[in-house]
Structure 1
Amino acid sequence: MFFRPEARPTDRLPHDPFKAIVAPRPIGWIGSIDAEGRANLAPYSFFNAIGSHPPLVMFSSEGLKDSVTNIRATGEFTASLATWDLRHAMNASSAPLPHGTSEFEATGLTPVPGQIVRAPRVGESPVALECRAIEIKALVDLDGRPIGNHMVIGQVVGIHIDDAYVIAGRFDLARARPITRCGYKDYAVVTELFALDRPPGAD
């Protein structure tokens, strides 16, 4: 089967497979505050690390949502790890609440102010990144037309790790059981890891 995205054979693929193909995707559970100091929390599945020296992360919002507006106003955000134990709270935090209403309060999660940034992280999460925004970019298509997506790139300026998840000098990802987005209504949970040695000369 081959098709152009704008001409998907809906008789065979009634649901767009794109998000299920580019998967699993880590979830950026983005904490921010607005110009008045009100907290916001939202999960984004278009999220990933894009560099390590310095550590950089990005997320993309489909539509101009509170997270992007807040980060544009304050220049900072946090990204907490969404885990199996927190899956229902993560899902609940995606509800379209009125502007200025805190998802932390609505979900019963604990907002913990950053050590370096003011934006709160999820206190119940075993890992969180404190970030300062480098760029906020409105994305366009091949013809240069705005598509309504806004990409935020941030530099990680602080990292929180629960000591219970540091084993033999490494962060135990499988123990934390992060969840990932897989398209449609599907998610996956990381419970097992395997290692591969890189070829000689690869870095």
Structure 2
Amino acid sequence: MFSNLQYLQHKRFIPLWRVAIFSLLGAFFMALMAQKKLSIPGTALQLSLQSLSVSLLVIIFQRKALWAVVVYLVLATLGFAVLADGSSDPNWFGSIKAGYYWGFLLASWAVGSVLATVRPHRFVKIWFCLSLNETLILFCGFLLLSYHFGFKQAWWIGVCPYILGALGKITFAALFYKFILLKEEDKSQ
């Protein structure tokens, strides 16, 4: 059995104050990425980069990215203008977009766990691990939209227009992960 000190060293214990600072910085990063919009060709829709920020936070903080998303959602609940377009909605959990926000929470937990467990090195494996992020976010958004509009309409307004953008965000995140991985390998040599 591990002694307490060995257990903490084995689990890579990080002081609570550091987790709090990283979580706050991560939440601000998500808020900044929420302000950035990309136009989707052929539609009047614009794509926010919030889900990409979740991927990047997971790559950097792994399982601890969950706390950044929690802080982000708490800030939204407190009325801070952290949501897409700089909007504030203390009742975000009751809005039509709530499924996507809950998806951020689920994705940060699931993808952080997958990356920590699988530790992919090949680009294709990295890409598929990170595709779970966009899949979970879009699926959660789809579930809530289908409650309001039905399955077919939810697919056409809440998933289909965002697939191309999701593929781009997954690819960017996978390239970022590969870059970080190469940097770590260079340090170890």
Looking at secondary structure, tell me which structure has more strand per residue: 1
TM over 0.5: no
More helix by share: 2
Q: TM-score, normalised on structure 1?
A: 0.28
Normalised by the length of structure 2, the TM-score is 0.29
